[in-house]
């Protein structure tokens, strides 16, 4: 069973011997520019046949060592545990391959040290370009890469040293907040301020979403309870704890909420079920994120879906254009009927 392993992999030299020609000719034929190098089509065919018979596979390492561009494109991504990043990664791979690039992706679990470590590793692998998705400290990554002459782009969270493609968080959050406020009025019979929960107060996206959240309240003439702005982090447990703490300190159970991600929503829903502070049906929710099962949850949860195809198209446009100006491109998110 596939036992006698070929101690050596087949190289162009082996093929050259078998074909009675030179490694140079083999190389030219196999990488497709044999016309330019004036190899006869007979020899080309012969070499291709032999390569096929021998199951020849190019040694990329050797090939890349010789070439100037690697055509490897790297991406770092915080997590694989939600639809948003999952679709980013899946589509990124597809689009990269469609452009003849080889994508390598690394998950850095929102850890700044891991992000830098991953960037260093990718530099070793000679990436031509690195996309930092949702990076905690994108500018350090850009600096590190710039020192090796490698381009960087920021996705999802912006940086100040490289082009960034992000969702229009302000507009999305304002519209989402408005809808939840309207739902509140319709379902609970009165206008009331919402609770904001999830995300990191220090990150741009969360700050912008809070700004949109405030603006929508102002538009509706509803005052915000500052104790109800809780950017407690991303993990589900953090949202649960923040709500526990709010109640413990005498706060009232919030009837309307703006939840900053599906991951935080997981914590919110667990808290709702666990504490029973709120009737499952009388809670009015909005989520700045999208998940198919959340849509089925039955609470008429309003959701904002970030426009991943548009974001990635923009990313590749910037790459193709060669620009490296640190400008921020904002992509409108998708709300049903917006």
Partner DNA sequence: AATTCTTGCTTCATCGATTGAGCAACAATG
Partner DNA sequence: CATTGTTGCTCAATCGATGAAGCAAGAATT
Interface stretch with DNA, choices 57-65, 137-145, 198-206, 286-294 (CB under 7 A): 57-65
Using the rule CB under 7 A, which residue among 53, 62, 80, 244 binds DNA?
Answer: 62
* Interface residue with DNA, options 45, 49, 53, 67 (CB under 7 A): 67
Contact of residue 149 among a second copy, DNA, none (CB under 5-8 Å per partner type): a second copy
**Smaller CB separation from a second copy, 1 or 248:** 1
Among 40, 125, 218, 227, binds a second copy (CB under 8 A): 125
Binding mask 245-284 for a second copy (x = CB under 8 A): -----------------x--xx--xx--x------x----
Q: Given the rule CB under 7 A, which of 23-31, 192-200, 208-216, 315-323 is the region that contacts DNA? A: 23-31
Judged by CB under 8 A, does residue 300 bind a second copy?
Answer: no
Q: Which of residues 171-230 bind a second copy (CB under 8 A)?
A: none
Retrieve residue 105's tokens. Answer: 């992706």
Name the minimum Å distance from CB 174 to a second copy: 26
Q: Round to whole Å and give the CA distance between 326 and 110.
A: 22
- For residues 128, 134, 137, 139, the Cα torsion angle rounded to the nearest 10 degrees is 40
Nearer to a second copy, 103 or 286 (CB): 103
| Closest CB 119 distance from DNA, rounded Å | 17
d(CA 137, CA 154): 10
| Count of residues that interact with a second copy, criterion CB under 8 A | 64
Are 127 and 70 in contact by the 8 Å Cβ rule? The answer is yes
Please identify, using beta-carbon distances, which residue of 144 and 210 lies nearer to a second copy.
144
Task: Give helix then strand counts, H and E, for the chain.
Answer: 13, 13
What string marks each residue from 103 to 122 as x (binds a second copy by CB under 8 A) or -?
xxxxx-x----------xx-
Binding mask 27-56 for DNA (x = CB under 7 A): xx-xx-x---xxxx-xx-------------
d(CA 160, CA 170): 18
- Checking 313-316 for CB contacts under 8 A at 24+ apart, the result is 313/95, 314/165, 315/131, 315/153, 315/155, 315/165, 316/95, 316/99
Is 9 one of the binding residues for a second copy (CB under 8 A)? yes
Q: DSSP letter string over 28-95? A: HHHTT-TTTTT--HHHHHHHHHHHHHHT----HHHHHHHSS---EEEEEES-SSSHHHHHHHHHHHHH
SS3 26: helix
Rule CB under 7 A: is residue 125 a binding residue for DNA? no
Give Cβ neighbours of residue 249 (< 8 Å, ≥ 6 apart).
227
First to last CA, the chain: 59
The reply to whether 90 sits near a second copy by the rule CB under 8 A is: yes
Distance CA 199, CA 228 (A): 14
Tell me: does residue 137 bind a second copy (CB under 8 A).
Answer: no
Distance CA 164, CA 154 (A): 4
Residue 322 pairs with which residues in a beta bridge? none
* 322 near a second copy, rule: CB under 8 A: no
Q: Does residue 49 interact with a second copy by CB under 8 A?
A: no
**Counting contacts by CB under 7 A, is residue 69 touching DNA?**
no
Secondary structure element (H or E) that encloses residue 229, with its range: strand 229-230
Q: Choose among a second copy, DNA, none what residue 250 binds, the Cβ cut-off being 5 to 8 Å by kind.
A: none
Stretch that binds DNA, among 8-16, 80-88, 206-214, 317-325 (CB under 7 A): 8-16
73's contact among DNA, a second copy, none, with CB below 5 to 8 A by partner kind, is none
Question: Footprint of DNA on this chain (CB under 7 A)?
Answer: 8-9, 11-13, 20-25, 27-28, 30-31, 33, 37-40, 42-43, 58-59, 62-63, 65-67
């Amino acid at each position: 069973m596939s036992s006698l392993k070929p101690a050596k992999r087949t190289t162009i030299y082996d093929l050259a011997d078998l074909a009675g020609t030179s490694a140079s000719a083999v190389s030219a034929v196999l990488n497709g520019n044999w016309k330019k190098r004036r190899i006869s089509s007979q020899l080309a065919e012969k070499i291709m046949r032999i390569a096929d018979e021998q199951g020849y596979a190019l040694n990329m390492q050797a090939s890349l060592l010789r070439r100037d561009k690697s055509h490897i494109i790297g991406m770092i991504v915080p997590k694989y545990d939600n639809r948003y990043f999952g679709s980013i990664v899946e589509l990124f791979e597809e689009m990269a391959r469609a452009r003849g690039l080889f994508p390598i992706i690394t998950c850095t679990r929102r850890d700044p040290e891991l992000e830098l470590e991953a960037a260093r590793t990718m530099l070793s692998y000679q990436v031509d370009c690195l996309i930092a998705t949702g990076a905690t400290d994108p500018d350090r990554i850009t600096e590190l890469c710039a020192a090796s002459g490698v381009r960087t782009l920021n996705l999802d969270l912006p940086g100040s040293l490289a082009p960034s493609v992000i969702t229009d968080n302000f507009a999305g959050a304002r519209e989402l907040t408005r809808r939840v406020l309207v739902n509140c009025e319709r379902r609970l019979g009165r206008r009331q301020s919402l609770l904001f929960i999830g995300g990191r107060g220090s990150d741009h996206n969360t700050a912008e979403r809070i700004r949109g959240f405030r603006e929508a309240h102002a538009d509706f003439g509803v005052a915000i309870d500052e104790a109800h702005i809780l950017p407690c982090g991303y993990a589900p447990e953090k949202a649960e704890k923040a709500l526990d703490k709010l109640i413990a300190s005498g706060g009232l159970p919030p009837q309307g909420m703006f939840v900053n991600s599906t991951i935080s929503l997981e914590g919110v829903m667990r808290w709702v079920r666990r504490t029973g502070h709120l009737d499952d049906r009388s809670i009015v929710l909005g989520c700045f994120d999208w998940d198919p099962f959340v849509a089925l949850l039955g609470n008429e949860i309003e959701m904002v879906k970030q426009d991943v195809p548009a974001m990635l198209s923009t990313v590749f446009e910037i790459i193709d254009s060669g620009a490296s100006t640190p400008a921020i491109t904002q992509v409108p998110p998708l709300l049903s009927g917006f």
